Amino acid sequence: MDTFVQQLINGLTIGSIYALIALGYTMVYGILRLINFAHGDVYMVGAYAGFMLATYLGFAANPSIFGFIVVLFGSMAIAALIGMAIERFAYRPVRKFSRMTTLITAIGMSLFIEYLFVFIFSGTPRSFPSLLPNDNFTLFGNATISTSQLLIFVISILLMIGLQWIIFKTKIGKAMRAVSFNLNSAKLMGVNTDFIIAFTFALGSALAAAGGVLTAQYNPKIEPLMGIITGLKAFVAAVLGGIGNIPGAVLGGLLIGAAETLVVGYGSYIGIPSTYRDAVAFAILILVLLIRPAGLLGSNVQEKV
């Protein structure tokens, strides 16, 4: 029993990270119907921004809660700016062309960011410093949870609540919902759509960066290509939950995370080797798309944000 709980904790930890990244995919898709392939790389950029901040502001040497907060919000701000820059210089100029054009631009952007970082930092994995002392808490029996895992849960839940609040309680959130409902009508109603789109990118990128920093506390190896697989799985999570649907992205992320951990933990009992963990995420996606093409929580008249 405690083994199962332990595996569930492990799975939900990764799942929370997928959920944070999936939110960015789903928001951008909701507004622009664009799959922003560079989003996984923004997650990587966030981790690197945190790494630079921690190293150059000296928080790596003496860990403190203050340092952690500065690094977390600092890297979120940097990633938000980068997200806006990506939108402004790569996607806005091609927005008026066909969707395929933007999609290919997104792939190009992704490769550009990855290899720019390989060029700057080299592909060598870096070790992200621990910003908080790491402890283990025993829940019951053998099931333990570490500080870094706890941080991932607490901060991702807070960020998701914050996101809900922005979207449903603020004026800018209302504008986002309007743009997602119909971009041209929103424009006619006087909504500054360019600004709203840029804001959406900033929001999504900040969440991805938070995911990057939190992951790096848990698994301190960062490297320029770390966003590829994680980004793909987060994308799968977004589609699984119903792309464009915010609670769906969270649900999808947690499901994918739990599924792949349980495959490693228990898959061998039903004949699935533990190395199929990645395959399982994609297999689930195919199944869901066959049965419910709009995703678990998606519907055709959804409120896309």
Partner 1 sequence: MTRIFLAIGLITSILFSFACVQKGGEGGGATNTGDGGDTIKVGVYGDMTGQTASFGQSTKNGIQLAVDEINAAGGVNGKKIVLVVEDDQGQPQQATTVVQKLINQDKVQAILGEVASTNSLAAAPVAQSAKIPMITPSSTNPKVTEVGDYISRVCFIDPFQGSAMAKFAANTLKAKTAAILGDVNSDYSKGLTQFFEEEFTRLGGRVVTKEAYTQNDPDFKAQLTKIRNLNPDVIYVPGYYSQVGIVARQARELGMNQPLMGGDGWDSPELFKLGGAALKNAYISNHYSADNPAPEIQNFVKAYKAKFNVVPDSLAALAYDAAKVLADAIKRAGGAGDSAKLKDAINATKEFAGVTGKITLDASRNAVKPAVVLELNPAESKFTFKETIYPEGMSAPTATSTDANSNSMMNMNSMNTNSMNSNSMMNGNMNSSTSMNGNPNSSMSMNSNSVNR
Site residues for partner 1 per CB under 8 A: 3, 6-7, 10-11, 13-14, 17, 33, 35, 37, 99-100, 103, 107, 110-111, 114-115, 118, 122-125, 127, 130, 134, 136, 142, 144, 146, 215, 218-221, 223, 225, 228-230, 232, 235, 239, 243, 260-262, 264-265, 273-275, 277-278, 285, 289, 293-294
Structure tokens at 227: 């966003």
- Using alpha carbons, list the distances in angstroms from residue 123 to 78, 112, 114, 117, 220: 21, 14, 10, 8, 15
Please identify which residue in the block is written with the tokens 């395959």.
279
- Rounded to the nearest whole angstrom, what is the least distance from the CB of residue 66 to partner 1 in the complex? 22
Nearer to partner 1, 177 or 277 (CB): 277
Nearer to partner 1, 188 or 286 (CB): 286
Helices marked H in 33-60? 39-56
Nearer to partner 1, 170 or 275 (CB): 275
Burial call 106-130: b when 16+ CB within 10 Å, e when fewer: beebbeebbeebeeeeeeeebebbb
Nearer to partner 1, 172 or 292 (CB): 292
Nearer to partner 1, 8 or 172 (CB): 8
Nearer to partner 1, 164 or 219 (CB): 219
- Rounded to the nearest whole angstrom, what is the least distance from the CB of residue 125 to partner 1 in the complex? 5
- Rounded to the nearest whole angstrom, what is the least distance from the CB of residue 208 to partner 1 in the complex? 14
* Beta-sheet strands, E only, within 83-188: 126-127, 136-140, 143-146
- Rounded to the nearest whole angstrom, what is the least distance from the CB of residue 86 to partner 1 in the complex? 17
Residue 153, C-beta contacts closer than 8 angstroms, at least 6 positions apart: 12, 13, 16
Measured distance CA(24)–CA(206) in Å, rounded: 9
For residue 100, how many C-alpha atoms fall within 13 Å in the half-sphere facing its CB? 0
